[in-house]
Amino acid sequence: MDKKFYIAANWKMNGSLSFINDYFSNFSPKSENSNEMIICPPDIYLETVKKYAPGFIQIGAQNISSHDQGAFTGECSGQMLNDNAIKYTIIGHSERREYHHENNEDIKIKLLNAIENNISPILCVGESIEQRESDQTFGVIDNQVKSVLDSDMLSSGTSILVAYEPIWAIGTGLTATPEMANEVHAFIQSIIDDISHSRIIPILYGGSMKGSNAKELLQMEHIHGGLIGGASLDASEFIKIYNIAEEIRNG
């Protein structure tokens, strides 16, 4: 199957110098060339992870400011991330939407900032349990994608990734079934096709992905990888998921 996978770790606000040292002390996936591994630590550890991580790993941030510079205490701009050769940034994670009140408008500005600074955004979308149970999933996703992505962005040279992360599956141990996830991924791709026919966007699944369920999820046609929270904090579990992606791609 020739589908490139993106296996991304979202460490959230976890980690320490000794954790990073331990994490990479014996970090060797079976092969490391065909798919993309991305690790998104807290900003304070971006440089440390870059120093300790094997060279094939790409480093990403978990957020980007919607401003370029100035009096925005606690923020980190796209230019600053770019200065430090950060290749990716997560944008619009449900935790930022909920705890930092980021709306689709803010998220669009952040996405534009990332693109302007040559950083590939990983745009997170996903429905709550109440929305799923009241049949609003497709409407919510449609709105989250259409109000952020536009044809200019999609025709820029910067690669853009989307992560479908049903909120009810994040950190809960509940996972969307492969069929449920695949259906939403296909839907997201169809929205993107409507915006821009020329662009295939990798769509990652996020929500309690781990070694034991990665294979069935990654084998689905429209799933191009995973955004992994809890399981990415265990190096051997994260490598296991990456190895599964390698096996599927390389046969």
Give catalytic residue positions: 93, 165
Of 145, 230, 239, 242, the residue at the interface with ligand PEP (CB under 6 A) is 230
Contacts of 37 (CB under 8 A, 6+ apart): 7, 8, 9, 29, 56, 57, 58, 242
Helix 178-195 to helix 137-146 angle (10° resolution) is 40
HSE toward the beta carbon, residue 223, CA cutoff 13 A: 28
Start-to-end C-alpha separation, the chain? 7
Q: Is the CB of residue 241 less than 8 Å from the CB of residue 8? A: no
Least Å distance, CB 213 to ligand PEP, is: 11
Identity of the amino acid at 80: M
Q: Is the CB of residue 61 less than 8 Å from the CB of residue 53? A: no
Of 111, 207, 237, 239, the residue at the interface with ligand PEP (CB under 6 A) is 207
**Distance in angstroms (rounded) separating the CA atoms of residues 71 and 88:** 24
Question: Residue 164: beta bridge partners?
Answer: 125, 205
- By CB under 6 A, is residue 209 in contact with ligand PEP? yes
- By CB under 6 A, is residue 60 in contact with ligand PEP? no
Cβ proximity to ligand PEP, 218 vs 227, nearer residue: 227
User: Which range, of 115-123, 137-145, 195-203, 204-212, touches ligand PEP by CB under 6 A?
Assistant: 204-212
User: Which range, of 30-38, 63-71, 144-152, 224-232, touches ligand PEP by CB under 6 A?
Assistant: 224-232
Contacts with ligand PEP in 148-187 (CB under 6 A)? 165, 170-171
User: Which range, of 64-72, 105-113, 145-153, 222-230, touches ligand PEP by CB under 6 A?
Assistant: 222-230
- By CB under 6 A, is residue 121 in contact with ligand PEP? no
Contacts with ligand PEP in 10-49 (CB under 6 A)? 10
User: Which range, of 112-120, 142-150, 152-160, 200-208, touches ligand PEP by CB under 6 A?
Assistant: 200-208
**Distance in angstroms (rounded) separating the CA atoms of residues 227 and 209:** 8
- By CB under 6 A, is residue 229 in contact with ligand PEP? yes
Q: What are phi and psi of 200, to 5 degrees?
A: -95, 125
Under the rule (CB under 6 A), what is the footprint of ligand PEP?
A: 10, 165, 170-171, 206-209, 227-231
